[in-house]
Homo-oligomer: A and B are copies of this chain.
Amino acid sequence: MKKIKEYIEKNKERFIEELFELIRIPSISSEVEHKPDMYKCAEKWKTILLNAGADKAEVFETEGNPVTYGEKIIDPALPTVLVYGHMDVMPVDPVELWNTKPFEPVIKDGKIWARGADDDKGQCFMHAKAFEYMVQTGNLPCNVKFMIEGEEEIGSSSLPKFCQEHKDLLKADIILVSDTGMIAPDVPSITSGLRGLAYWQVEVTGPCRDLHSGLFGGAVANPINVLAKMIAAMVDDKGHITIPGFYDDVLEVSAAERAKMAEAPFDLEAYKKAICVKELFGEEGYTTNERTGIRPTFDVCGIWGGYTGEGSKTVLPSKAFAKISCRLVPNQDHKKIATLFKQYFESIAPGYVKVEVTPLHGGPAYVCPIDLPAYKAAEKAYADVYGKNPVPFRSGGSIPIIAAFEEILGIKSILMGFGLESDAIHSPNENFPLEQFFNGITTIPLFYKYFAEKK
């Protein structure tokens, strides 16, 4: 570890300047006018990998944005680590809330401030510098491949096909990802699970036109009232989702693992205070972190119908709509859940309305067993750097491509995140502490060391 830190110290200004060059490219994948920047970024990553020591690097076209691939194969008999990251970033609005320019990175208060400083340029770049260290100092214990895509923020829609078409190229023993967080700067954690997702839009139709709520109110079912009743019926007072069969495939987490999860430091009062609520509500029998980590949910993300403008309009509307999403846990199948929801929603619809359920998108959950050798290697690496074992953390969020990697390539991922909640990813004033950046570069080579030892 001493040698890594010395290398970092000697090269840190260059590291930062190289990262800044990457950050300055406004690679916003959801905005069509930045398409040229996606290509610029892909080429930049190719250069980054070759300069770091890759034997070859290539920019692949896809149906969407390009993917940059790089590799250094030292011995086919050795294990292979595949590093996955994304070069695209979130949009920056509302721009007026930024204190600095989103694509002009600056260092202030020990942090890099810019869009992508954490998610995912800062975090992904740690892997490039760790790789450079290992290659330049002759400390590379196994083969390394890099796959950097450009559509993660918009659903990674081209990547499954890319993986399918390049199965041989991408053959590896483990995938390393830094696109998640740690509990706190002094509380290391590894994300050992991600939730899946199923998302629908529903439409409830009563009368075929908006009606006068005086002339018809009381005699004709109001689709908003009906939609409210149907949504209310989906979750009981104990926070349990009532869709028949919904929980059938849920892997119950062992008491032992729940106890380990409970060891993670968590300040309930601070949590409530940060979001300004007096009380929390969720599934009975589970703690706050269990409710987001190991239990599925039912959330209405959007609802609309009738008159929503200024003042009052006495209308009994024809239609009411909702956007509904369920977060899923292993081993729930998002396609099966979509069918169960549709059937149930249609079955509880009373005869005085018609309902339509349109699936929008979905993806399975992901879990990394904490006794996996690669997980153990990562655990040791964090322990060396932080002086304590990382806590296994089940994230409430979803990164659907991680489950797709397992499905298509048959490879598990280790989510070695170094982000912090204060990094404000997806928000204005995104930032990444230099301490996190350098700790990441320090930890990653130690993972490789322990991983190669075990295999």
Residues 299-310 of A, flagged 1 when their CB comes within 8 A of B and 0 if not, give 111111111111
A298 to chain B minimum Cβ distance, whole angstroms, is 8
A219 at the interface (CB under 8 A from B): yes
Whether the Cβ atoms of B312 and A90 lie closer than 8 Å is no
User: Nearest chain-B residue to A30 (Cβ)?
Assistant: B311
Task: Chain B residues near A44: list those with CB within 8 A.
Answer: none
Per-residue CB proximity of A94-107 to B under 8 Å, as 1/0?
00000000000000
Which residue of B30, B91, B306 is within 8 Å of A303 (Cβ)?
A: B306
- A169 an interface residue at 8 Å Cβ cutoff? no
> Taking the complex as formed, is A317 at the interface, i.e. its CB lies under 8 A from any CB of chain B?
yes
What separation, in Å, do the CA atoms of A229 and B225 have in the docked complex?
A: 10
Which residue on chain B has the smallest CB distance to residue A226?
Answer: B281
Q: Are B217 and A292 in contact (CB under 8 A)?
A: yes
In the complex, what distance in Å separates the CA atom of A298 from the CA atom of B314? 12
Instruction: Find out whether the CB atom of B315 lies under 8 angstroms from the CB atom of A426.
Output: yes
Stretch touching chain B among A2-10, A35-43, A392-400: A392-400
> In whole angstroms, how far apart are the Cα atoms of A361 and B433 in the complex?
49
Report whether B281 and A312 are in contact in the complex, using a CB–CB cutoff of 8 Å.
Answer: no
**Chain A contact residue count (CB 8 A cutoff):** 96
Within 8 A of B (CB), among A306-347: 306-317, 320-323, 325, 327
> What residues of B have a CB within 8 angstroms of the CB of A424 in the complex?
209
A213 B312 Cβ-Cβ under 8 A: no
Residues of B within 8 A of A317 (CB): 301-302
Copy total for this chain: 2
Listed stretches A14-22, A270-278, A372-380, A441-449; interface member = A270-278
The answer for the CA separation of A289 and B209 in the assembled complex, in Å, is 20
Q: Is the CB of A281 within 8 A of B209?
A: no
User: Does A421 make an interface contact (CB < 8 A)?
Assistant: yes
For A119, the closest partner residue in chain B by CB is: B212
Complex-state Cα separation, A292 to B216, whole angstroms: 6
Please tell me if the beta carbons of B306 and A323 are within 8 angstroms of each other in the complex. yes
Given contacts A225-B299, A229-B232, A231-B225, whether A361 and B312 have CB atoms under 8 Å apart is yes
CB A292 to nearest CB in B, in angstroms, measures: 5
Q: Find chain B residues with CB under 8 A from A322 CB.
A: 224
Compute how far the CA of A219 lies from the CA of B233 in the bound complex, rounded to whole angstroms: 19
Assess whether B305 is in contact with A218, with CB atoms less than 8 Å apart.
Answer: no
- Known contacts A30-B311, A314-B426, A321-B308: A351-B299 contact under CB 8 Å: no
Q: A316's closest neighbor in chain B, by CB?
A: B299
Q: With a CB–CB cut-off of 8 A, which chain B residues contact A232?
A: 225, 228-229, 231-233
Chain B residues with CB under 8 A of A350: 279, 281
Do A302 and B292 touch (CB < 8 A)? Answer: no
The verdict on A427 contacting chain B, using a C-beta distance below 8 Å, is: yes
- Asked if A360 is at the interface of the complex by the 8 Å CB criterion, the answer is yes
What is the CB-to-nearest-CB distance from A196 to chain B, in angstroms, rounded to a whole number? 10
Residues from chain B with a CB closer than 8 A to the CB of A306 are 300-303, 323
Write the residues of chain A forming the contact surface with B, with a CB cutoff of 8 angstroms: 30, 90-91, 93, 154-155, 181, 195, 197, 199, 201, 206-222, 224-225, 227-229, 231-233, 235, 239, 275-283, 288-289, 291-292, 295-317, 320-323, 325, 327, 350-353, 360-361, 395-398, 421, 424-428
Give 6 A-B contacts (CB < 8 Å), ordered by A residue: A195-B214, A207-B275, A217-B396, A221-B277, A224-B231, A302-B309
Given A209-B428, A228-B300; 14 other pairs, CB 8 A cutoff: A154-B312, A199-B312, A209-B427, A214-B292, A217-B292, A217-B327, A217-B396, A220-B275, A222-B299, A227-B228, A228-B228, A312-B325, A313-B323, A314-B426
